[in-house]
């Protein structure tokens, strides 16, 4: 699965959690919480959606790996490719 496909899957989850956010101009290298109005509950909702939709379990110690969109793609990419 290529970068853009994985990125879209992640953006789709964020869009369902942060329904009022404009996701069209997200910079892949800037922390998501700096770009979007996401609180800790929103972040946990994203983690739960990853588990529900793609059977991906993100351990608490791996949460920092989901800071930016780029780091999300790099961390989740192999797991999303495997789960598809």
Token reading at 9 = 């899957």
What pLDDT score does 2 carry?
92
Q: How many domains in the chain?
A: 1
14: domain range?
A: 3-83
């892949």: which residue's tokens?
28
Token reading at 12 = 């789709």
Q: Would the pTM of this model clear 0.85, i.e. be above it?
A: yes
| CATH code of the domain in which 35 resides | 1.10.1200.10
Positions in the chain short of pLDDT 70:
83-84
């Amino acid at each position: 699965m290529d970068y853009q496909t994985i990125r879209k899957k992640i953006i789709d989850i964020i869009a369902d959690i942060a329904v009022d956010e404009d996701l069209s101009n997200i910079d892949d290298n800037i922390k998501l919480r700096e770009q979007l109005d996401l609180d800790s509950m929103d972040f946990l909702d994203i983690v739960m959606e990853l588990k529900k939709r793609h059977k991906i379990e993100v351990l608490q110690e791996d949460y920092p790996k989901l800071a930016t969109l780029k780091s999300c793609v790099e961390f989740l990419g192999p797991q999303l490719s495997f789960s598809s």
